[in-house]
Amino acid sequence: MSIDKTAIRNAATVIVIRDRMTNPSILMGQRGAKAAFMPNKFVFPGGAVDPADAHVPLAAGLPPQCAARIQEDADAALAHAIPVAAVRELWEETGLILGAQGTWDGEVPDDWKTYAATGHVPHASALQFVFRALTPPGRPRRFDARFFLLDADAVASDPDNFDAACDELSHLQWVPLSDARRFDMPFITEVVLAEVEARARELEPPESVPYFKNNDEESLFLRLRGHATPYAGKD
């Protein structure tokens, strides 16, 4: 079945951070010149949720506070699939493994065969839900993206080894937070970057999650607060 590329797709993005207490840096790569969405831009690894992601088991789920916020506006299958997609996209685009050593029960989905061959099963307990953004109308692709902050110490593989990465992102590199803005990046990545800078040395999940919501009527900057309904305006 073909995918309707005009529809809004759910997506997951992972912001990997290292040396956060001393000289924090984040992992970024450059999208290809021929990419339909954000060509040539430097971005964080991530991508759309696949239908099969809802059926991939996690050795451990999101932290409870993060899971509760995801579940505010997602059914059970989607709430499970989003962090699964984050683990998968991190592996596909960077070759980094977020998971625990173990073997898979049953048949391994095609998209996960190379990951499973490393001897790991995916887990999401180290992911912190820190941002949500809906792509504005009129773009060639639209995504409802959830952004997750991940400490590099939680990665099960060498954080400097990108040999297993696919070719979707080039020039994968650790970028000091202080230098990140010199790269050509999408506007929303700059907005998320500001949130990461504010949270670089915070180890606990945020009290509230920014939501940059763009629809046909207006653009709103909301905040997701636990089990509360998002509201517009500043703190």
pLDDT digits (tens, 9 = 90+) for 169-193: 999 999 999 999 999 998 889 999 9
Q: Which two tokens stand for residue 227?
A: 């089990």
- Model confidence at 162, in pLDDT bands (50, 70, 90)? very high
The CATH number of residue 133's host domain is 3.90.79.10
- Whether 3 is covered by a domain: the verdict is no
Q: Count structural domains, the chain.
A: 1
Name the CA dihedral angle for 195, 198, 200, 206, rounded to a multiple of 10 degrees: -70
- Whether 130 is covered by a domain: the verdict is yes
How far apart CA 39 and CA 96 sit, in angstroms, is: 23
Please, where are the H alpha helices in the chain? 64-71, 76-94, 113-116, 187-199
- Whether 38 is covered by a domain: the verdict is yes
Find out whether 58 and 83 touch, Cβ atoms under 8 Å: yes
- Whether 175 is covered by a domain: the verdict is yes
Find out whether 85 and 12 touch, Cβ atoms under 8 Å: yes
**What pLDDT, in 10s, does the model give residues 43-65?**
999 999 999 999 999 999 999 99
Structural domain span for residue 127: 8-232
pLDDT of residue 229: 38
Distance of CA 115 to the CA centre of its chain: 17
Is 60 exceeded by the pLDDT of residue 3? no
- Whether 226 is covered by a domain: the verdict is yes
CA atoms within 13 A on the CB side of 141: 14
168 burial (CB, 10 Å; 0-12 / 13-18 / 19+) is middle
- Cα distances from 118 to residues 60, 84, 96, 103, 110, in angstroms, run 18, 17, 11, 10, 14
- Whether 1 is covered by a domain: the verdict is no
Helix, coil or strand: residue 31: strand
